[in-house]
Amino acid sequence: MRTTVISGSATFGALAALITLAAPPALQPPFPVLFYLKFDVAEVLDLSSFMIFGPSAGLLTAGIHALILGSVGGSAGAGPFGASLKFLGVLTTYVGLLIASRFGRRGLVGTGLKMTLSSLGTRVSLMTVANYLYIVFLAQVVFGMNYLDYPQFILSQAGINLTGAGLIEYVLALTAVYNAVHVVFSVLVSLLVVNTLLTRAPNLLQTGAWITRLLSPAVK
């Protein structure tokens, strides 16, 4: 990667981590019921880096974002456990963006639709598998914690008393809904931000953005 790309993606990653850690609750609203799941506007920076600089730079941005969060103790979203899941969420969204890039150029609406649907499919499916592995193995072995203790307590406070396989299925289902809503927001907002940069300030992207291979010439 060129120096400008590396510095740009690193800046995006550091800024994304700062937003995750310092943004007010209004910018990180909790998901209903499982309120430890938060909608993080900082993902827009992760995806914007991918769309502007390309997959390798996007991976660097997400890695720096997660590394900073992982070094900070705290609740979900900070510390190694939350940071690892956040990184996987972004990574599985990237997979969807890469798949969408295989289907040729479209206008802004068409590009947004194919990117959203593709990322929706990859993030929800792959993160459901990842969360299941965290529940049954990784959380306890790698991070020394029981993944289900806190969601079980939260659900019980809402009058939902589940154990065993029923609890696992319920948590996975709610988390899948959370990921679905999050990815739709993150992809569409990122695309609008990057497209605005392309149309209003094209000189900022002197070498051309990765997203231009998906957008028809009229949209650039």
Question: 204 versus 47: which is more confidently predicted?
Answer: 47
Residues ≥6 apart with Cβ < 8 Å to 216: 105, 106, 107
Instruction: Give the integer Cα–Cα distance in Å for 92 and 100.
Output: 13
Sorted by where each starts, the structural domains of the chain and their CATH numbers stand as: 3-215 (1.10.1760.20)
pLDDT of residue 76: 43
* pLDDT tens-digit map of 86-125: 999 999 999 999 999 998 888 889 999 999 999 999 999 9
pTM of the model: 0.90
pLDDT of residue 143: 81
